[in-house]
Structure 1
Amino acid sequence: MANPVSSLIDSAVRATAPVVDGITDDQLTGPTPCAGFDVQALLNHLFHIVTNFQKLAAREPADLATVAEYLDEGDWRSRFREEGARLAKAWAAPGAEEGISPAMGLPQRSLAAMVLGDLLVHGWDLARATGQEYTPDTATVEEVAPELEKIVPMGRNAGVFGEAVPAPAGATRFERLLGDTGRDTGWSPS
């Protein structure tokens, strides 16, 4: 990734935050393209990733296994933007992108790609599940996609991603990335 990770994260948060803002309370129990997650569970997962990857940027211990109920705390829609801004700031700190994560044993840049993948892919999942548009920044997708493509097999082996779904002819780079992570770009909640 040639651009600073923090600017890519900021771009991904700016694409995903309007989707989070647009989710109504009555949509929280609806299905998503992410198997096993309804909208509320996927929002909790995304909050969990965003808050814990702030810690990983600072090389602090993070608990990725225990997902809390983040939507019980006040205005979660506004809080998503705030946590997203904190995430970008954490990754802007000097040295955040360098070296190996003591918590995960992976390069920090790989962790940055993971959180970017979560923001982009789950942003699409949530938009699809709630009937909204989702248009991530093309330059961000182009820059992040090669890094994500490297870690998708590891994620698939860990059960994080489903089997790849072939993208349709003429698919965009983002649609191909969605297919690589097990998403059917034609999915709808009905």
Structure 2
Amino acid sequence: MNEIAARYRSRADNFEAKVAAVRPGQWSNPSPCDEWSARGVVGHIVDMHGAMLSPLGKSLSVAPTVEEDPLAAFVSARADVEALLTDSAIAASKVATPAGQLTVEQHVDQVVSADMVLHGWDLARATGQDDTIDPTEIEAMWPGLQQIPEEMRIPGAFGPGIVVFGPEVKISDDAPLQHRVLGLLGRDPYWSA
């Protein structure tokens, strides 16, 4: 297994554990993403898995919907993306993405794999779970996040309904690094339902 596939698997394991820990009455809880409930956060991640398949002319396998069974929907979507990453020819093939030509594995790594880290925090925060992000992930994100182009914060700049990053939340320089990363990602690290 290469580094990208291993990183995807680790992030998917963490996200799946958070989905599995949501209690039945918590799915409608609000999340730090204004427009999504806890269920909506999982729905977004499942949809983004589908977006990794679409440049290849593929779609998600038939599975329960997020409305029916969020965990089963995620597990199925995850299996579809892992199948791309474990097929070396597919993983190395080039696809057109909003960020330009990327290999399938680069696309997965930069989009849905990274998305699970932030949205794992959203889901944990919405459902009262431990919201600590792996410090290695935080350290890796920090340098690039300090240079987010302003157009990445403009709703709809990459298509109707697409919001890449929300407005920066100002966090003090002496706050924990996770808090500062969340602020740059448009999250209030002190958010509560």
Smaller-chain TM-score range? 0.7 to 0.9
In the other structure, the counterpart of 1:18 is 17
Q: CA deviation at 1:86?
A: 3.9
Distance 1:34 1:106, change over 3 A: farther
Distance 1:141 1:44, change over 3 A: same
Q: CA deviation at 1:46?
A: 1.2
Q: 1:117 aligns with which of 101, 114, 119?
A: 114
Aligned equivalents of 2:73 and 2:30: distance in 1? 23
In the other structure, the counterpart of 1:185 is 189
Matched position secondary structure for 1:102 = strand
Q: CA deviation at 1:167?
A: 3.2
Q: 1:71 aligns with which of 66, 71, 77?
A: 66
Aligned: 1:90 with 2:84: yes
In the other structure, the counterpart of 1:38 is 37
Higher relative contact order (Cα pairs below 8 Å, separated by 6+ residues): 1
Matched position secondary structure for 1:107 = strand
Deviations 1:106-164 (A, max 9, x none): 43435521212310111100100110013343334434555666666453133332111
Distance 1:50 1:44, change over 3 A: same
Distance 1:182 1:106, change over 3 A: farther
Aligned equivalents of 2:88 and 2:144: distance in 1? 21
Distance 1:131 1:83, change over 3 A: same
Between 114-123 and 145-154, the greater mean CA deviation after superposition: 145-154
Larger Rg over CA atoms: 2
In the other structure, the counterpart of 1:60 is 56
Q: Give the root-mean-square deviation of aligned CA atoms.
A: 3.2
Distance 1:113 1:165, change over 3 A: same
Gaps of 5+ in 2: 158-162
Matched position secondary structure for 1:101 = strand
Q: CA deviation at 1:71?
A: 1.9
Matched position secondary structure for 2:17 = helix
Matched position secondary structure for 1:183 = coil
Aligned: 1:138 with 2:138: no
Between 117-126 and 159-168, the greater mean CA deviation after superposition: 159-168
Aligned equivalents of 1:33 and 1:22: distance in 2? 18
Aligned equivalents of 2:111 and 2:13: distance in 1? 17
Deviations 1:64-114 (A, max 9, x none): xxxxx82244x4324424433442442343266657522543434355212
Partners of 1:110 and 1:147 within 8 A in 2 = no
- Aligned positions, number: 178
Aligned equivalents of 1:71 and 1:93: distance in 2? 27
Aligned equivalents of 1:127 and 1:152: distance in 2? 28
Distance 1:85 1:32, change over 3 A: same
Aligned equivalents of 2:147 and 2:108: distance in 1? 12
Question: Normalising by structure 1, what TM-score?
Answer: 0.74
